[in-house]
Amino acid sequence: MHSKLLAGVELVSPSPAFYALHYRSHLPFSPKILCCTNNSSSSSSSSSDHKFKFNLVGDRKWKFNDIDTSRVQESVNHWLSKTQNFFNEVTSPLVKTVNDKRTSVHADTQDMEDTFMAEQTVDSQTLNGDLSVAAILSIEQFSRMNGLTGKKMQKIFKALGPESVHSDARSLVEYCCFRFLSKDSSLLHPCLKEPAFQRLIFVTMLAWERPYRSRGDSQAKVSEKHSLQLKRRLVGEEAFVRIAPAVAGIADWATAHNLFKALAGNDKGISFTSWSTYIGELLKVHEGRKSYQFKDNAHLHDERILCIASGGKHPVLKWENNMAWPGKLILTDRALYFEAVGLTGKRNASRLDLTGEGSLVKRTRVGPLGFDLLDSAVSVTSGPQLDTWVLEFVDWGGEMRRDVWYACISEVIALYKFIREFGPEEGDQSVYNVYGAQKGKARAISYTTNAVRRLQALQYARKLLEEPTKLVQFSYLQNAPYGNVVLQTLAVNCWGGPLIAKVTDQEYQSGGSPKSTNEATESSSHVFDIDGSVYLRKWMKSPSWGSSASLAFWKNSLSKRGIVFSKNLIVADMNLMEKAAVTCRDKYQVAEKTQATIDAAMIEGIPSNIDLFKELVFPLTVVVKNFEKLRRWEDPLLTASSLALVYTLIFRNMLSYVFPAMLMVLAAGMLLLKGLKEQGRLGRYFGKVTIRDQPPSNTLQKIIAVKEALREVERYLQSLNVSLLKIRAIILAGQPQITMEVALALLFGATILLIVPFKYIAAFLIFDAFTRELTFRRQMVLRFMSLLKERWDTVPATPVVVLPFEDDESDAPSQRKESSNVVKPEKQLKQ
């Protein structure tokens, strides 16, 4: 580890006191032997408890004659063996098998615990509680990797941090970790190659999740050892999303929560085994891409290789004209390359560019002789008028290979869409006014490179999600809610930087960044990152910058409450990408829950959907039935009271208040139900729709039922079409006499509406509706309805002409024949 051992004595009461004795030798590594003891004066503990400790007598006044030389020699040999084993592990091959890692977890954990017990300098007592063992270990180790002690780092943190976080152990853990991580800006953090650093990051996530001891924990050594058993500990989502993206190459801020779900699987958190396996596979992928060399492809020297499929047990087939050709497929950060295997054994390379505006990839089916039976292919095109590649990924061991390649290709396409929408134009000289902006495109490409390699590592570790596109950020954010705002923060992260020259915008002065959010809004239309970096206004070509969500986010984005190491590493606060990603995650979860309810409502089968429709319209059916009871005077007292109320509203000119009153009653009812449901007084099953399942039937019965349903639908459509054709004939004067009668009736109705006040018309209509079923009007209504039916039956329908079927391909020859037949008589006339 990058740890510096103490030289001297540090006493922190009532925590253990640590003593350091120098041990010098001519070995390349010179370790120091550290011993610890308790502050108590009692010496009644057994010899087994002091196996690696010095026995102190009385008030710490002891003589060299009192030291057991054999015990000292034993301790020296023990520590030297551990030190040598540690350096042998560091210098061993970087990628181990999963079994090797599993067998070494317990020994490595014990070494870390002993190192912690010997190196503590940080004050473990805070106002909020005592620091946990994982927190002390993380603080001490990162402090020494920063060249300081834990106590010194704690003092610096209190001096630099806001007063509100001085006693926050979680912020102290972040400060020590982020201070070391801010020193590196590589694509993949180089310290990840060391197993000790991998364990330290895992312990740091545990420390962030639980920075304080529990109240029931004792300070005995046994309980301390138990708390550092990594096999029994799981890292939660919040800790992983906070710490893992801060380490270069481990995760993206936008997809960290999806990566957590992939690594955790069915568990509540990420185990150390899953963590170490993922890091090991990720290192293998990075080393594999570095070691791969093209021999006969000099035209690829400017492109970075992302994925390779060379056939063998997992062939790649390119379908052309119902023929499949095996070959080698290469995905770079700009294009796809396919080297088909020819009959002579030579390979003819072809290239498909993915940087164009019309590039598109989608899942498709393939099969021989035009039968689309195999759902294992993707269709890739560079534009509407360009060639389309259909690539099939044969996978004998599963179904995820096609989906992984689909995610990788779609990520490259989404990358260049992001660059076109949010990046500067090609040849834009304003990039030289912002420090580092000319490297913004390279940063965006590095995001995609890392995302694809993480996806491959998860594939090798068998930790994929059902939808791999959720693990690559550009493709994921295209369809995610609030995704445009996250893409904006990515753009600011890629192209934003300090101004090094004046810009043409008169509202902005290049003397420095504004001091507050309000000043930033008033003084310039540019966008600022939390570290003062500037993203120029002229680069905001995407319409998403004008959305309400974007304006609200950037208005409140510059509140500084923590210690800023860089635009990505902020102690006790979130960076812009993290803030937007958290909102995007929450909105996406809400959208997923909503979609789940919609999917659950999609019931298969016509009878089941009919039953569901009847259940949904049941309240309306009840209202109609009750209205019919009123209209038929089944309860004369209730009908008379209702009519009295209606006529009062009409003749008191209160009709304008009826609709608002109905809305108010509806809103009050909804709020009442909401309150009762929150109180739990409606039961768990209130509001759920329940229907009966259909009786079991065989295939023949299902076919007959579907046929009968189609016949009913056909009859209904026929009657509806006949009615529409009759209305068409009346309007277009298909029967002049009936058209005249209908027109006169419409004119008479319009005259009545113009002359007679509406309240009298409404009163008449209500009187007519409530007296139709009475004895003195029943016969008159029947005669009038039969007259209307007779007149309706005499209306002829508009004739319908059905033309013979013709293909689109046959239209052109027929048109040519018609044109030739027209031209020939003209020629004969001229002759």
Residue 800: pLDDT above 90? no
Asked whether the beta carbons of 555 and 521 are under 8 A apart, the reply is yes
Rounded Cα distance, 498 and 246, in Å: 22
Residue 271's SS3 state is coil
Asked whether the beta carbons of 496 and 557 are under 8 A apart, the reply is no
Average pLDDT (591-617) is 80
Please state the φ and ψ torsions of residue 470, each to the nearest 5 degrees. Answer: -75, -10
The per-residue pLDDT for 77 is 60
Asked whether the beta carbons of 113 and 225 are under 8 A apart, the reply is yes
Q: Which two tokens stand for residue 694?
A: 């259909």
The per-residue pLDDT for 454 is 95
Residue 589: pLDDT above 80? yes
The per-residue pLDDT for 808 is 56
758-771 vs 618-631: helix axis angle to the nearest 10? Answer: 90
Q: How many percent of the chain have pLDDT more than 70?
A: 75
Average pLDDT (752-770) is 90
Segment among 390-394, 601-605, 703-707, 824-828 with least mean pLDDT: 824-828
14 preceded by a cis bond (ω within 30 of 0): yes
- Residue 36's H or E segment, with its range, is strand 33-37
**In the beta sheet, which residues pair with residue 34?**
20
The per-residue pLDDT for 299 is 60
**In the beta sheet, which residues pair with residue 129?**
126
Kindly provide the residue ranges of all beta strands, DSSP E only, lying in 371-428, ordered along the sequence. 374-381, 388-393
Asked whether the beta carbons of 453 and 278 are under 8 A apart, the reply is no
Rounded Cα distance, 57 and 347, in Å: 82
Average pLDDT (573-582) is 93
Higher pLDDT, 222 or 786: 786
Q: State pLDDT tens for residues 37-54.
A: 333 333 333 333 433 333
Rounded Cα distance, 638 and 631, in Å: 10
Residue 35: pLDDT above 60? no
CA distances, 797 to each of 111, 200, 721, 740 (Å): 94, 84, 9, 17
Q: State pLDDT tens for residues 374-422.
A: 888 999 998 887 889 999 998 876 678 899 999 999 999 999 999 999 9
- Is 679 part of a structural domain of the chain? yes
The per-residue pLDDT for 119 is 65
The per-residue pLDDT for 180 is 95
Rounded Cα distance, 359 and 245, in Å: 30
The band of 735, judged by pLDDT with boundaries at 50, 70 and 90, is confident
Rounded Cα distance, 662 and 676, in Å: 21
Asked whether the beta carbons of 728 and 722 are under 8 A apart, the reply is no
Q: What is the domain range of residue 667?
A: 601-803
Residue 707's SS3 state is helix
Please state the φ and ψ torsions of residue 389, each to the nearest 5 degrees. Answer: -100, 135
The per-residue pLDDT for 706 is 80
Q: Which of 101-115, 408-422, 639-653 has the highest mean pLDDT?
A: 408-422
The per-residue pLDDT for 327 is 87
Rounded Cα distance, 782 and 689, in Å: 41
Q: For residue 526, which amino acid is it?
A: H
Segment among 205-219, 235-249, 258-272 with least mean pLDDT: 205-219
- Is 786 part of a structural domain of the chain? yes
Q: How many percent of the chain have pLDDT more than 90?
A: 37
From the list 633, 597, 281, the residue with the least C-alpha distance to 462 is 281
- Is 45 part of a structural domain of the chain? no
Number of domains in the chain: 2
The band of 816, judged by pLDDT with boundaries at 50, 70 and 90, is very low
The band of 297, judged by pLDDT with boundaries at 50, 70 and 90, is low
Average pLDDT (13-34) is 33
CA distances, 475 to each of 84, 139, 309, 417, 590 (Å): 47, 37, 21, 10, 20
The band of 67, judged by pLDDT with boundaries at 50, 70 and 90, is low
Segment among 185-199, 278-292, 812-826 with least mean pLDDT: 812-826
Residues 6+ apart with CB under 8 A from 529: 492, 493, 496, 535, 567, 576
Average pLDDT (620-634) is 89
Kindly provide the residue ranges of all beta strands, DSSP E only, lying in 358-457, ordered along the sequence. 360-366, 374-381, 388-393
- Is 246 part of a structural domain of the chain? yes
* DSSP per position, 615-660: HHTHHHHHHHHHHHHHHTTSSHHHHHHHHHHHHHHHHTT-GGGHHH
Higher pLDDT, 627 or 299: 627
Q: State pLDDT tens for residues 649-708.
A: 988 888 889 999 999 999 999 999 888 888 878 877 777 888 887 777 777 877 887 888
Asked whether the beta carbons of 437 and 496 are under 8 A apart, the reply is yes
Q: State pLDDT tens for residues 451-492.
A: 999 999 999 999 999 999 999 999 999 999 999 999 999 999
The per-residue pLDDT for 199 is 92
69-91 vs 98-119: helix axis angle to the nearest 10? Answer: 140
Average pLDDT (294-316) is 73
**What is the CB neighbour count within 10 angstroms for residue 307?**
20
Rounded Cα distance, 471 and 252, in Å: 9
Give helix then strand counts, H and E, for the chain.
26, 16
From the list 107, 155, 163, 151, the residue with the least C-alpha distance to 12 is 151
Sign of CA dihedral 331, 337, 340, 345: negative
Segment among 275-289, 506-520, 756-770 with least mean pLDDT: 506-520
Last-in-domain residue among 252, 268, 289: 289
Segment among 118-127, 539-548, 614-623 with least mean pLDDT: 118-127
Rounded Cα distance, 738 and 788, in Å: 12
Last-in-domain residue among 289, 316, 337: 289
Q: State pLDDT tens for residues 421-440.
A: 999 998 888 899 999 999 99
Higher pLDDT, 305 or 811: 305
- Is 372 part of a structural domain of the chain? no
> Cα(first)–Cα(last) distance of the chain, in Å?
105
The distance from CA 181 to its chain's CA centroid, rounded to whole angstroms, is 26
C-alpha gyration radius of the chain: 39
The per-residue pLDDT for 73 is 63
Q: What is the mean pLDDT of the chain?
A: 78
The per-residue pLDDT for 113 is 39
Please state the φ and ψ torsions of residue 175, each to the nearest 5 degrees. Answer: -60, -50
Average pLDDT (107-123) is 54
- Is 698 part of a structural domain of the chain? yes
Asked whether the beta carbons of 393 and 374 are under 8 A apart, the reply is no
Q: Which two tokens stand for residue 689?
A: 């729709």
The per-residue pLDDT for 5 is 33
The band of 826, judged by pLDDT with boundaries at 50, 70 and 90, is very low
The band of 771, judged by pLDDT with boundaries at 50, 70 and 90, is confident
Segment among 328-337, 494-503, 695-704 with least mean pLDDT: 695-704
The per-residue pLDDT for 105 is 41
Last-in-domain residue among 270, 289, 308: 289
Rounded Cα distance, 267 and 537, in Å: 46
The per-residue pLDDT for 428 is 87
8-state DSSP, 805? P
The band of 504, judged by pLDDT with boundaries at 50, 70 and 90, is low
Residue 208: pLDDT above 60? yes
The per-residue pLDDT for 56 is 37
The per-residue pLDDT for 340 is 83
The per-residue pLDDT for 398 is 66
Residue 806: pLDDT above 90? no
- Is 256 part of a structural domain of the chain? yes
8-state DSSP, 191? G
8-state DSSP, 605? S
Residue 341's SS3 state is strand
- Is 102 part of a structural domain of the chain? no
The per-residue pLDDT for 275 is 95
